[in-house]
C-alpha cells in the first residue's frame, strides 16, 4: 500500500502549498496521538498507584476484584437510570 502511495506521489505530486498543509496536518495528528497515549499511560499509572495504596497489607488481587465489581455495579446503575428516563 505504501509503495502504491509513494508511486502516486511521484507521478502526480501535490502543489507545494497543499503538500505543506498535508505535512502540517500529519504532524498535528501524530502529536495528538502521542498526547492521547501519554494521557492513557498516566491514567494507568495513577490507577495502579491507587490500587497499591488501597491494597496496603491486603491481597492486591482481591482489591482489584472489588474495584472491578464496584465499577460494574456503577455501570449497571447508570444503565438502569437511563432506562427509567
pLDDT value of position 62: 84
pLDDT value of position 35: 92
Distance CA(22)–CA(17), nearest Å, equals: 9
Highest mean pLDDT among 32-36, 71-75, 80-84: 32-36
Q: Is the predicted pLDDT of residue 81 greater than 80, yes or no?
A: yes
Distance CA(28)–CA(33), nearest Å, equals: 9
H/E stretch holding 80: helix 60-84
CB 48 within 8 A of CB 56: no
**35 grid coordinates:** 498526547
SS3 13: coil
Q: Is the predicted pLDDT of residue 1 greater than 70, yes or no?
A: no
Q: What are the tens digits of pLDDT across the range 20-66?
A: 888 888 888 989 999 999 998 998 888 888 888 888 888 888 888 88
Distance CA(81)–CA(73), nearest Å, equals: 12
pLDDT value of position 2: 63
Amino acid at each position: 500500500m505504501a509503495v502504491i502511495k509513494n508511486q502516486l506521489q511521484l507521478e502526480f505530486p501535490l502543489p507545494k502549498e497543499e503538500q505543506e498543509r498535508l505535512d502540517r496536518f500529519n504532524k498535528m495528528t501524530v502529536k495528538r496521538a502521542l498526547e492521547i497515549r501519554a494521557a492513557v499511560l498516566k491514567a494507568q499509572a495513577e490507577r495502579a498507584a491507587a490500587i497499591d495504596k488501597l491494597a496496603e497489607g491486603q491481597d492486591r488481587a482481591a482489591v482489584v476484584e472489588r474495584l472491578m465489581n464496584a465499577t460494574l455495579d456503577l455501570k449497571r446503575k447508570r444503565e438502569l437510570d437511563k432506562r427509567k428516563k
